[in-house]
Amino acid sequence: MYLEHFDMQEMPFAITPDTSYFYSYGSHQEALNVLLVALRSGEGFIKISGEVGTGKTLLCRKVLNILDDNFVTAWLPNPCLTPAGLRMALADELGIKYARNMGQHRILSLINNRLITLNTEGKQVVLFLDEAQALPDDSMEALRLLTNLETEKSKLLQVVLFGQPELDERLAQNKLRQLRQRITFSQEIETIDINGIEGYLAHRLLVAGYHGKPLFKRNVVEDLHYISQGVPRVINVLAHKMLMVAYGQGAFHVTLQHLQLAAEDTDGTVPLPTSGFARVGATIVSTLGAAAAAAAISLGA
């Protein structure tokens, strides 16, 4: 692909949640700070919400990497679980051995005993749930009841919920008010603003090993922000495709033409106003086929 062409060690805009690419900026840094403070306080539920593609999973993994040996963590990336499935998944994460046909009351007792043991060892146990908006109502209630496990002075289990805005809508329901009232810290992750996107691109390129001249000129960055609406995942998809097309054309910097070609090949982007790409002119049509062919050849290689 384009790594050798741009003298990089790895793909800078992959959409996998690699914590080395975490960008300490704006609401992402604020959410990280809130999480660390809240976890060290040892109380209740913590909620982190944000739109699709804003980096919730990356933030979750970042926190998991930061927490020291005083914490024991359990991570459930797919919470589409029944109450029984939730308890069993937590037991698995805590290293509890149990028979698969064991009754739920017994499993809950084993969880409680394990949490008490960890507490006496000075450990804080934290359960992280990604995509929490998908957790069924009865499992939400089972989760709340798990946090009833406590000593006279402290909770035995903290819970961090990561979810899309639909999570806030669900928690607003009257039937979930008891869980809602237990959320002691809440933070929303926002998209990257126009002032942050240039730094975001530069940060990812630097982590990937790029040390050359700026690849993205200011006008390209501004239009990329408009098209992506500042959503990190969409920025990554577009930037990756832009580098592919630039490589296919033998170019060493990214142009508005490359951005348009990438945008035309990407669902969910916001089109620029009619005049947005007027600067590119008729060359787009004539180079589209050649750029796509070159990129396809490079992929085949």
Considering the chain, tell me which residue range(s) the CATH 3.40.50.300 domain(s) occupy.
26-189
Task: Give pLDDT, residue 274.
Answer: 59
Q: What is the largest CA-CA distance in the chain?
A: 73
Residue ranges of the chain with per-residue pLDDT less than 70? 274-301
Q: Which CATH code of 3.40.640.10, 3.30.40.10, 3.40.50.1580, 3.40.50.300 fits the domain covering 26-189?
A: 3.40.50.300
Task: Give pLDDT, residue 297.
Answer: 43
Q: Give dist(CA 134, CA 191) in Å, integer.
A: 22
Residue 160 burial (10 A CB sphere; 0-12, 13-18, 19+) = buried
Task: Give pLDDT, residue 268.
Answer: 79
Q: Which of 134, 158, 162 is nearest to 148 (CA)?
A: 158
Contact status, residue 131 vs residue 79, Cβ threshold 8 Å? yes
Task: Give pLDDT, residue 195.
Answer: 95
Copy the structure tokens of residue 255.
């142009």
